[in-house]
Chain A
Amino acid sequence: GAVVSQHPSWVICKSGTSVKIECRSLDFQATTMFWYRQFPKQSLMLMATSNEGSKATYEQGVEKDKFLINHASLTLSTLTVTSAHPEDSSFYICSATDGGQAEKLFFGSGTQLSVL
């Protein structure tokens, strides 16, 4: 089956630093990738949708200057949390689809971010 690789799986950083999370589709071309955030005991919340070669579409309430998304190729999307603060500590997950329809989502394994 399709595989999506996400790394790092776990990162601790100091407040004010930036953290980059990578999401790669290993055996298919991901025309669309999604980034989610999940706080403890809460559901996945969609942050943004990115299509290869175009600007990401952010959900309401998500700061685009805070969470920079780049989808430069059909196999790679990155999420950069800029000037991270403790309230950004969360579980971030990417998912990808190859057909534009979200019928079958292939998830990365997630990144646990802890900002001190």
Chain B
Amino acid sequence: RKEVEQDPGPFNVPEGATVAFNCTYSNSASQSFFWYRQDCRKEPKLLMSVYSSGNEDGRFTAQLNRASQYISLLIRDSKLSDSATYLCVVIRGFKTIFGAGTRLFVKA
């Protein structure tokens, strides 16, 4: 079992839709959590940090549930430019562990 697991998708949604991604992690010692966005053959870029209290940035909302070891990302009012792979990232000690990513395609 991988330490960080994500539904690989792909998620195919129309513009304006709301889409939610889930991520689970297996090691309870994990201390920091992030969502990154990666476009094809590009480097990952930090989208947002994830906190237990929830974190909202415009159309994006991230949530952490430590008890369930579960992280979520909600995208509202999807845009064509949101099409990308979304990576769940967990930090444990000095290790950064990437999920395999969830692919999103937003269509007109």
Contact = CB atoms under 8 A, between A and B. Distances in A.
Interface of A: 34, 41-46, 49, 91, 93, 100-105, 107-110, 112
Given A34-B96, A102-B95, A102-B96, A107 B41 contact: no
Main secondary structure of the interface of A (DSSP, over half): loop
Interface in B21-52: 32, 41-46
Given A42-B100, A43-B87, A112-B41, 8 more contacts: A45-B98, A46-B96, A100-B94, A102-B94, A103-B32, A103-B91, A109-B42, A110-B42
B93 to A, nearest CB: 9
Interface residues of B, number: 17
B94 A43 contact: no
Nearest to A91: B41
Interface of B: 8, 32, 41-46, 87, 91, 94-96, 98-101
Contacts of A44: 44, 87, 98
